[in-house]
Amino acid sequence: MRDAHAPAEPREILRHVFGYDAFRDPQEAIVDHLVAGGDALVLMPTGGGKSLCYQIPALVRPGVGVVVSPLIALMHDQVAALRQAGVRAAALNSTLELEEVREIEASLRAGRLDLLYVAPERLLGERTLALLDEVRIALFAIDEAHCVSQWGHDFRPEYLQLAVLGERWPGVPRVALTATADEPTRREIAERLGLGDARRFVSGFDRPNIRYRVVAKRSAREQLRAFLDADHRGDAGIVYCLSRRKVEETAAWLRQQGFDALPYHAGMSAEERNLHQDAFLREEGVVIVATIAFGMGIDKPNVRFVAHLDLPKSVEAYYQETGRAGRDGLPADAWMAYGLQDVITLRQMVEGSDADDARKRLEMRKLDAMLGYCELTGCRRQTLLRYFGENPTEPCGNCDNCLEPPQVWDATEAARKALSCVWRTGQRFGAGHVIDVLMGKDSERVRGLGHDRLSTFAIGADVDVATWRSVFRQLVARGFLAVDVEGYGTLRLTEESRPVLRGEVAMSLRRDAIRGPARARSRAAPADDGMRSGPLWEALREHRRGLAASQGVPPYVIFHDATLAQMAAQCPTTLAAFADLPGVGDKKLERYGESFLAVIREHAAD
């Protein structure tokens, strides 16, 4: 068996340590650049294999690779996975006892570590800086590098100080990595980390295994349950909500529906958050209901869905959050329910914040782009990729709009009626009351305000409530109506609405449809082929679960679902055949080959 720590070429390490025969593009170019001592800025989609881009150079170059990571959970997972592969890895963080810290420091000084994971605030402490001065450093890897951007959604102030690495160790190569950064954010990362001369590697942002779907919000919980019942009973997934209260209520409701659901938000104690996160990582089929406080750095590969019950604040946030699904390359879903109240709430949050005008304008532009994504009638994947600077020429065939093209209708007259009614009611009411007037509702409030005597009373009685809600949602999303910042959702006309009111422009809107689960998939999306089902699949999962429990690690650090699926499909009967499976390196073959072959042979005999 090959020594994982002996000098080797990158491809040897890829095969013998990590169990893969070939690099994905552009992994090999990044690895070669870092091995040669160059600096790099790497943008690669979640699940694209960013970790190997710095782990392999750290094993090739002399010394220890130092990885800056913002989350303790991510450190634990990556260290556990590396140790399974026979790599000498450790993490320095606040959860360790003093004796454990001293043991890691001694291993570092003695050259017995290949990779050291450390949080930025710990790294920048004088004790750690002095410790690193004593050892040979192979490279610095700054993971989740978008945290350096003060305009971003995951800003971490301690990241601003990481430029010191280049100043203190000028000869050590540095690589900054992220999955989410538009061009302005890339420039900011390079500037703030002192990587202006670093070579940039920007791989495609496409995640063809993820199916994108947006539905008009009616009864969001029931819509969520229908989505999960159709495709994801028993699967691990994440449900995002905007507020802590909604997180708690949704998690409790899902438990009532028979799902293993747990809440996660910043209002919980650290102990409880860690307990729930640990359950999500280590157990099968747990659904985490969370605010955006959860998810960055989560390395769980078999998250089969990410659902949003509220609108994200930006396309960047949406892309990163949905990217936590399907990291193993197997089919996954990104599902979202969104409605008018989402638009109103987020506009209020932006306009009512303490940010300066420049920041508000930027956040509003980002929100407008997110609204545009929700309301578009074309391919969602094309729109996402164009946002990040790519230009796909063909629709993906694996989003709701491709699988079930939405209808559009001539809403010119309906839009004029809606805008006119907002004006006639004094621009002092929300959409609910305006719709009541349009539909001629005989209520005490309508009569008491005298709105039953307006010229717009009942002029929209021929249109149902759901359609009117859709009209108002789309008028707000397109900027023809504005929302107040006082918290009441009051609608008012904008300057852009004048041509519509005067009948000078035509208005086409998408017609909300009640859709069933979109089951067809594009040829570009990986097929499941039934490998993740049946008695052998379940037996392999159960065996993996037992091994993981006995070692206190998440099941996926033993083998990913993708590797188990290949076991079930190929049914290897010898160690040589088992070694050819993706994700089976020398150490895992030695540790687990015979026991998994025994499971396969038992089922073959049955």
Domains in the chain, start-ordered, CATH in brackets?
10-202 (3.40.50.300), 210-338 (3.40.50.300), 408-511 (1.10.10.10), 535-605 (1.10.150.80)
The structure tokens listed for 604 are 């073959």
What is the distance of C-alpha 529 from the center of its chain? 25
Report, as an integer, the average pLDDT of 384-401: 90
| Residue 351 pLDDT level (bands cut at 50, 70, 90) | confident
Q: What is the pLDDT of residues 195-231, one digit of tens each?
A: 999 999 988 788 999 999 999 998 999 999 999 999 8
* Strand ordering across the sheet containing 210-216: 210-216, 332-338, 305-308, 237-240, 287-290, 261-264
Single-letter residue type at 374: C
SS (H, E, C) 520-536: CCCCCCCCCCCCCCCHH
Q: How far apart are CA 487 and CA 405, in angstroms?
A: 36
Question: Nearest Cα to 64, choosing from 8, 129, 110?
Answer: 110
Q: Write out pLDDT tens, residues 271-299.
A: 899 899 889 988 889 999 999 877 666 77
> Of 603 and 180, which is predicted with more confidence?
603
Q: pLDDT digits over 469-489, tens only?
A: 999 999 988 889 988 766 577
pLDDT score of 152: 58
Amino acid making up residue 75 = M
Query: Following DSSP, what letter does each residue of 47-77 receive, concatenated?
Result: TS-HHHHHHHHHHHSSSEEEEE-S-HHHHHH
Q: What is the pLDDT of residue 486?
A: 63
Token pair for 568: 């079930």
